[in-house]
Structure 1
Amino acid sequence: MALWTDRSGRFSLLKTGVLLLVFVPAAMVAYALWQNDLGPLPYKEALHRIGDWTIRFLVITLALTPLQRILGWPRLALIRRMLGVTTFAYALAHFSLYIVNEKFDLAFVVSEIALRIYLTIGFVALFGLSLLAMTSTDWAVRKLGRNWKRLHLIVYALAALALLHYFIQSKIDVSQPVLWSGFFLLLMIYRVVMKLRWPLSPLVLVGCAILAGLLTAGVEFAWYGLATGVGPFRVLKANLAFAYGLRPAWVVLIAGLAVAALPWLKQAYGLASARLNPARSAATR
Structure 2
Amino acid sequence: MSSDWALWRDRRGRVSALRILALALLLFPIAKAVFDVQDIVQGARPLNDVIHRTGFWTLVFLAVTLAITPLRSIARYGQLIDVRRMLGVGTFCYAATHIALYVADQSYDVVKIVHEITHRVYLIIGMTALLGLAVLAITSTDGMIRRIGPLRWRRLHQAIYGIALLAIVHYFQQTKADVTVPVFVASLFGWLIGYRIVAWWQDRTELSTLSLLALSVTVALLTFAGEAIGIGLAFGVSPLRILDTVFDFDAGIRPGWQVLAAGLAVLVLDLVRARWNGRRTRPRPIAVPP
TM-score when normalising by structure 2: 0.88
Aligned pair in 2 of structure 1 residues 152, 271: CA closer, same or farther (>3 Å)? closer
* Larger mean Cα displacement after TM superposition, 24-33 or 190-199: 24-33
- The partner residue of 2:270 within 255, 263, 274 is 263
CA distance in structure 1 between the aligned counterparts of 2:179 and 2:249, rounded to whole angstroms: 18
Whichever of the two has the greater Rg, that structure is 2
CA distance in structure 1 between the aligned counterparts of 2:267 and 2:56, rounded to whole angstroms: 26
**Amino acid in the other structure paired with 2:57:** W
**Amino acid in the other structure paired with 1:75:** Q
1:26, 1:50 within 8 Å by CA — same for their partners in 2?
no
Asked if residue 106 in structure 1 is aligned to residue 131 in structure 2, the reply is no
Partner of 2:96: 92
Say how many residue pairs are matched. Answer: 278
1:20-59 CA distances to partner (integer Å, 9 max, x unpaired)?
Answer: 2211102322453466545110011111111111111101
- 1:247 Cα deviation (Å)? 0.8
Asked if residue 229 in structure 1 is aligned to residue 229 in structure 2, the reply is no
Partner of 1:158: 163
2:74, 2:273 within 8 Å by CA — same for their partners in 1?
no
Asked if residue 186 in structure 1 is aligned to residue 186 in structure 2, the reply is no
Aligned with 1:238: secondary structure?
coil
1:4, 1:16 within 8 Å by CA — same for their partners in 2?
yes
- 1:193 Cα deviation (Å)? 1.5
Matches for 1:72-221 after TM superposition, within 5 Å: 72-145=76-149, 146-196=151-201, 197=203, 200-221=207-228
1:82-132 CA distances to partner (integer Å, 9 max, x unpaired)?
Answer: 110111111111111111222222221111111110111001000100000
Partner of 1:67: 71
User: Which segments of 5 or more consecutive residues in structure 1 lack a partner in the other structure?
Assistant: none
TM-score when normalising by structure 1: 0.90
Aligned pair in 2 of structure 1 residues 48, 147: CA closer, same or farther (>3 Å)? same
1:155-189 CA distances to partner (integer Å, 9 max, x unpaired)?
Answer: 00000000000001102211111001000011111
- The partner residue of 2:249 within 225, 242, 254 is 242
User: Which segments of 5 or more consecutive residues in structure 2 lack a partner in the other structure?
Assistant: none
> Percent same amino acid among aligned pairs?
41
CA distance in structure 2 between the aligned counterparts of 1:77 and 1:251, rounded to whole angstroms: 27
- 1:10 Cα deviation (Å)? 1.8
Asked if residue 44 in structure 1 is aligned to residue 51 in structure 2, the reply is no
- 1:237 Cα deviation (Å)? 2.8
**Amino acid in the other structure paired with 1:73:** Y
1:260-285 CA distances to partner (integer Å, 9 max, x unpaired)?
Answer: 1112112344567789xx98x99xxx
**Amino acid in the other structure paired with 1:200:** L
- 1:244 Cα deviation (Å)? 2.8
Aligned with 2:36: secondary structure?
helix
**Amino acid in the other structure paired with 2:215:** C
Aligned pair in 2 of structure 1 residues 38, 191: CA closer, same or farther (>3 Å)? farther
Aligned with 1:166: secondary structure?
helix
1:179, 1:249 within 8 Å by CA — same for their partners in 2?
yes
- 1:230 Cα deviation (Å)? 6.0
When the two chains are superposed, the root-mean-square deviation of aligned CA atoms in Å is 2.3
Aligned pair in 2 of structure 1 residues 133, 34: CA closer, same or farther (>3 Å)? farther
Partner of 1:57: 61
1:88, 1:126 within 8 Å by CA — same for their partners in 2?
yes
